[in-house]
Amino acid sequence: MEMQTQDQFMAEINRLKDSLARKDREIEKMKVNIFFLETLFDGIDEEIMVIDADFFIQDVNRVFLDQYGVKKEDVLGKKCHEITYQSDSPCIFGRRLCPLEKAKETGQRAEVTHQYKPEGGDLKELVRIMYPLAARGKMPKYFVEISRDVTEYRNLILKLKASEKKFRTILDTATDAILSIDANQKIVLFNNAAQQIFGYSRSEVLGKDLNMLVPPQYGNHSRFVKRFLEEKTPKVMGKTLPLTALRKGGQAFPMELGLSYYEMKGDITFTAIIRDISAQKQLEKSLLQSERLAAVGQTVAHVAHEIKNPLMIIGGFSHQIKKSLMEEKSIQKIEMILDEVTRLEKLVANLGDFTKEYTLMKRPADINSVIGDVLKLMGEIYPSGKCGFTVDLSPNLKEINCDPDKLKQVFINIIANGIEAMEAGGTITICTGKWSRGVEIRISDEGIGIGEEELDHIFEPFYTTRERGSGLGLSISYKIVAAHKGEISAESMLGQGTTFVIRLPAT
Ligand SMILES: Nc1ncnc2c1ncn2[C@@H]1O[C@H](COP(=O)(O)OP(=O)(O)OP(=O)(O)O)[C@@H](O)[C@H]1O
Ligand SMILES: [Mg+2]
């Protein structure tokens, strides 16, 4: 019995020992947990405060104490607004109340952002987040508020917005088109100038494939992008390339292209700066044209002068010889000589016209009646022609200050060319209308047309594709229009016909 009691006693002792050891381990564990929590609480870089539902502070972390320059014993048991805003009543942030009210009401996390200016300091922005602490299904008793200073973040955003605005302004005041594509060559940026130059609005192109702006002769543009992505060797980057692009409606125009790219976190963007050089090219062309005309003109004037006298002698003597000839065959030959002499004399006269510096005899004239005169003349030159005429004359054209006789020559040259181009017959259409600086005359035929290559040369002296043409008609016309400070140009489609457009200023 005694033994038994002793054994029981020992067992009891051992149980107690075990239980104590277990408790010790649990306490040890709790100590570790508390240590973790305290480290977290004090180690976190944000202000943390624990309050109860009546605003009384239960605990705060090191950052909080540093922030308000207080000691823990000064704040425990005080109301939070007494410490943070030195106020007797709960805070109001702008129109928003303290997040505690909302957290109490909803049992959920509540957040407010507010700005304030500490005395002598810069404007600060804080985000305060209130978390209710409650066992499941119970009313929360305590609340943790974590405050984050987002001033720097906010300043960064403001700076970003400002630089974005600056960037936008530059983009949209640039006179060159600026556009960007992503690696799938979808258009992601299209500035104002791009809208003007290409004729598309931003909404029509954003997200669309770049190929809509690339003329078909370059093939699919994606292979350039692909090659670049594979090789990453910027062959064309940073260089200016003369190329052609397409406007809305399919019209091609010459342009200069500058390319750049940037890569951010693996995303690549290509940016192109495009300058529309069509006006510049047009100017170069007409400058070249007038330079060529001037150079050729001097030589031609000289040659024409040298030919004139011998031609007069040949013509005069041939007439005399013809009178004394009896034999039919010889008479025929001398007549051929006389025909050719007449043709040459006409040419020399034309050459004279061509080389002459035009002194215009200007007076106010109605272009419609000038055209009427020309048509009468044409009727005499081509009496029963295969060609018809259609006219569409604008009834309310003002008179312009011009040399009507010289202009008649221009219209006759162009109409004659049109008739020559319509061997099988057709209609010449003449329209007049207003032009911003005066009047515009359009003369169209339905003839063989002019190829793109040829079109560059038709105004050059001696350029002709006709067996008996001198190639002077259009260069003389060009000079006459230029002397009027006007413009002349031709549009043509092979096999469909040609339209000449003449624009003459009012004064
Ligand atoms: N309406 C047209 N249709 C087709 N080709 C044209 C037309 N007008 C001009 N051309 C082309 O332009 C060339 C030059 O024309 P241009 O009037 O200067 O000379 P030409 O007609 O050949 O000779 P010229 O007028 O001196 O007798 C022509 O030879 C022709 O090839
Ligand atoms: Mg001609």
Q: Which of 112-116, 156-160, 350-354 has the highest mean pLDDT?
A: 156-160
Q: For residue range 472-503, what is the model confidence (pLDDT) as tens digits?
A: 899 889 989 999 999 999 999 999 999 999 99
If you average pLDDT over residues 342-349, what whole number do you get?
85
Tell how far the Cα of 489 is from the centroid of ligand 2, in angstroms. Answer: 15
Tell how far the Cα of 71 is from the centroid of ligand 2, in angstroms. Answer: 105
Tell how far the Cα of 469 is from the centroid of ligand 2, in angstroms. Answer: 7
Residues 6+ apart with CB under 8 A from 502: 410, 414, 440, 441, 442, 443, 481, 486, 487, 488
Instruction: State pTM to two decimals.
Output: 0.49
Ligand 1 atom 27: residue of nearest CA: 469
Tell me the DSSP string of 42-104.
HHSSSEEEEEETTSBEEEE-HHHHHHHT--HHHHTTSBHHHHHS--SS--EETTEE-HHHHHH
Ligand 1 atom 1: residue of nearest CA: 418
Q: For residue range 299-319, what is the model confidence (pLDDT) as tens digits?
A: 877 788 788 888 888 998 999
Q: What domains are defined for the chain? A: 29-154 (3.30.450.20), 174-276 (3.30.450.20), 281-355 (1.10.287), 363-505 (3.30.565.10)
Q: For residue range 24-46, what is the model confidence (pLDDT) as tens digits?
A: 999 999 998 888 888 888 888 88
What is the pLDDT at residue 205? 95
CA distance 404 to 386: 28
What is the pLDDT at residue 285? 80
Closest ligand 1 atom number to CA of residue 497: 3
What is the pLDDT at residue 234? 62
Q: Are 57 and 49 in contact (CB under 8 A)?
A: yes
Q: How confident is the model at residue 438 (pLDDT cuts 50, 70, 90)?
A: very high
What is the pLDDT at residue 3? 67
Q: Are 488 and 501 in contact (CB under 8 A)?
A: yes
Q: For residue range 378-393, what is the model confidence (pLDDT) as tens digits?
A: 877 776 667 889 999 9
Residues having CB within 6 Å of any atom of ligand 1: 413, 417-418, 421, 445, 447-448, 450, 458, 463-466, 469-475, 498
Amino acid symbol at 203: S
Tell how far the Cα of 417 is from the centroid of ligand 1, in angstroms. Answer: 5
If you average pLDDT over residues 436-460, what whole number do you get?
93
Q: For residue range 386-419, what is the model confidence (pLDDT) as tens digits?
A: 788 999 999 989 999 999 999 998 999 999 999 9
Q: For residue range 177-214, what is the model confidence (pLDDT) as tens digits?
A: 999 999 888 999 999 999 999 999 999 999 999 888 98
Strands annotated E in 173-313: 177-182, 187-190, 240-246, 252-264, 267-276
Amino acid symbol at 5: T
Percent of the chain with pLDDT over 70: 96
Q: For residue range 86-136, what is the model confidence (pLDDT) as tens digits?
A: 888 887 766 667 888 888 888 889 988 877 777 788 888 888 899 998 877
If you average pLDDT over residues 315-327, what whole number do you get?
91
* Averaged pLDDT of the chain: 88
Q: How confident is the model at residue 51 (pLDDT cuts 50, 70, 90)?
A: very high
Residue 259 CB-half CA count within 13 A: 14
Closest ligand 1 atom number to CA of residue 350: 26
3-state SS class at 11: helix
| Whole-number Cα distances in Å, 82 to 47, 87, 88 | 16, 5, 6
What is the pLDDT at residue 235? 62
CA distance 52 to 91: 16
Ligand 1 atom 19: residue of nearest CA: 471
Higher-confidence position of 352 and 157: 157
If you average pLDDT over residues 237-247, what whole number do you get?
81
What is the pLDDT at residue 214? 87
Asked if the model's pLDDT at residue 333 lies above 90, the reply is: yes
Tell how far the Cα of 106 is from the centroid of ligand 2, in angstroms. Answer: 93
Q: How confident is the model at residue 236 (pLDDT cuts 50, 70, 90)?
A: low
Q: How confident is the model at residue 1 (pLDDT cuts 50, 70, 90)?
A: low
Q: Are 100 and 49 in contact (CB under 8 A)?
A: no
| Whole-number Cα distances in Å, 263 to 166, 187, 344, 406 | 21, 16, 71, 63
Q: Are 254 and 283 in contact (CB under 8 A)?
A: no
Percent of the chain with pLDDT over 90: 47
